[in-house]
Amino acid sequence: MMIRRSALLAAASLLAFSVAAQAQEDFQPALIFDMGGKFDKSFNEAAYNGAEKFKAETGIGYLEFEVTNESQRDQALERMARRADIVVVVGFAFGTSLETLSERYPDAKFTIIDASVDKPNVQSILFKEHEGSYLVGMAAALKSQTGKIGFVGGMDIPLIHNFEYGYEQGAKAANPDIKLTSNYVGTTPAAWSDSTRAKELAFSHYDSGADVVYAAAGAAGLGVLEASKDKDEFSIGVDSNQNHLYPGHVLTSMLKRVDVAVYEAFKAAQDNSWQPGMLNLGLKEDGVDYALDENNREVLTPEIVAKLDEAKAKIIAGEIEVQDYYSTQQ
């Protein structure tokens, strides 16, 4: 009798395992990267890291596609919508395509990062880049010896102006007399990949007296970080933690937790808790932050860190309000 019961229990356990395994096999997520490549060490790579974390934890692989020209967006979205349970798209440029395609595939789930698409099967994730940029702006002004800092944006669009606007507010909060100069790599999506042009722009800032330059330019921003090493000055990275690329020259990085957004979207879709609608992630939600590690502790001094952490706490508590760029355009 005991042997029979044990056999039944073993069979039941095996069945439960098989059902769970089948459920995992049946779930198929997908990720479409924006221009610049998935190994841009910035925005796209953060998304990649989130997807890889999900894969490592669950054993579930994901479909992926790297957009290399604008004509591929619609085709990639359509193909993934047919094959995947959830499609995460990285970048505002997918917004227009998703407006139309989400209606053609009403049973599909879509998550878009950096754009708002108001559809019943779309989750839109935005970040309060201005809050994280406020902190690195403070860091730049506190570190600067010349009283001049710079900003190099990627594509000249409102999203990147939001980085610049937060950066300026933080810098002026730390030093009202700070001088900020800014420029942009270009006006088309090709700007995200043009590291040569970004490096030239960074050189122009350093040659004009700036000693800290913030790059909000995706893969192109790597040119700014390289310029800081060449000029023996400081740069600030973006999206991913880029402190390790040129230790001692990257003052800090403004973290934009795209990795968390992708991971959570996949995870929620897998366990059926995914919901459409809008998410807006700032310091309070751990959506943005500044990076401190062994690569920049010597240059981002304890005194600066203390002031950044104080400002961070006040922003979270609502004692400091960082204005976003979009509100100035209304």
- At 46-66, the pLDDT tens digits run 999 999 999 999 999 999 999
Sign of CA dihedral 220, 287, 126, 46: positive
**E strands present in 60-194:** 63-66, 86-90, 109-113, 122-127, 148-155, 179-186
CB 130 within 8 A of CB 106: no
Which ranges in 275-301 belong to alpha helices (H)?
A: none
pLDDT at residue number 19? 37
Residue 8: pLDDT band by 50, 70, 90 thresholds?
Answer: very low
DSSP 157: S
Can you tell me whether residue 208 is helix, strand or coil? coil
- The pLDDT value recorded for residue 9 is 47
- Residue 3, pLDDT score: 46
Contacting residues for 175 by C-beta, under 8 A, at least 6 apart: 141, 142, 144, 147
More confident: 15 or 284: 284
pLDDT tens for residues 289-305? 999 999 999 999 999 99
- 48-to-30, 52, 64, 111, 225 alpha-carbon distances in Å: 11, 6, 9, 15, 21
The predicted pLDDT at position 40 comes to 83
Coil/strand/helix, residue 153: strand
pLDDT score, position 18? 39
pLDDT above 90 for 131:
yes
Q: How many CA atoms lie within 13 A of 301 on its CB side?
A: 7
What is the per-residue pLDDT for 25?
59
Are the CB atoms for 46 and 18 separated by under 8 Å? no
Q: Average pLDDT of 257-264?
A: 94
**Edge-to-edge strand ranges of the sheet holding 29-33:** 63-66, 29-33, 86-90, 109-113, 122-127, 277-281
What is the mean pLDDT of the segment spanning 131-139? 98
Pairing of strands 250-256, 288-290: antiparallel
Distance CA(212)–CA(205), nearest Å, equals 9
The pLDDT value given to residue 69: 86
pLDDT at 268: 97
Two tokens, residue 85: 């349970």
Contact 109, 262 (CB under 8 A): no
Please give the model's pTM, rounded to 2 decimal places.
Answer: 0.85
Give yes or no for residue 15 having a pLDDT over 60.
Answer: no
Amino acid 187: pLDDT: 96
Residue 2 above 90 pLDDT?
no
Answer whether residue 186 shows pLDDT above 90: yes
pLDDT > 90? residue 11: no
Degrees to nearest 5, angle at CA 179 with 257 and 130: 20
Asked if the model's pLDDT at residue 13 lies above 60, the reply is no
If one counts every other C-beta atom within 10 angstroms of the C-beta of residue 326, the result is: 13
User: CA–CA separation, 140 vs 171, rounded Å?
Assistant: 7
List, for residues 144-169, the tens digit of each pLDDT value. 999 999 999 999 999 999 999 999 99
Give 148's Cβ-side CA count (13 Å radius).
Answer: 13
* CA gap 216, 203 in Å, rounded: 16
| Average pLDDT rounded to a whole number, residues 295-317 | 97
| Residue 102 pLDDT class (50, 70, 90 cuts) | very high
* Per-residue pLDDT, 35: 84
Q: What is the pLDDT of residue 14?
A: 44
Average pLDDT of the residues in 171-183: 98
Provide the 10 A C-beta neighbour count for residue 178.
21
3-state helix, strand, coil in the chain (%, to 5): 50, 20, 30
Q: pLDDT category, 37, cuts 50, 70, 90?
A: confident
Angstrom distance (rounded) from CA 296 to CA 79: 43
User: Is the sign of the CA dihedral 245, 216, 126, 307 positive or negative?
Assistant: positive
Integer Cα distance of 80 and 64 in angstroms = 9
Q: Which residues have CB under 8 Å from 161's CB, separation 6+?
A: 153, 325
pLDDT-derived band of residue 42, with 50, 70 and 90 as boundaries? confident
Instruction: Write down the pLDDT at residue 158.
Output: 95
Query: What per-residue confidence (pLDDT) applies to 313?
Result: 98
Question: Which residue is listed with tokens 């944006």?
Answer: 153
User: Taking 80 as the threshold, does the pLDDT of residue 192 lie above it?
Assistant: yes
**Whose structure tokens read 């227009």?**
96
* Mean pLDDT value across the chain: 92
Q: What is the pLDDT of residue 36?
A: 82
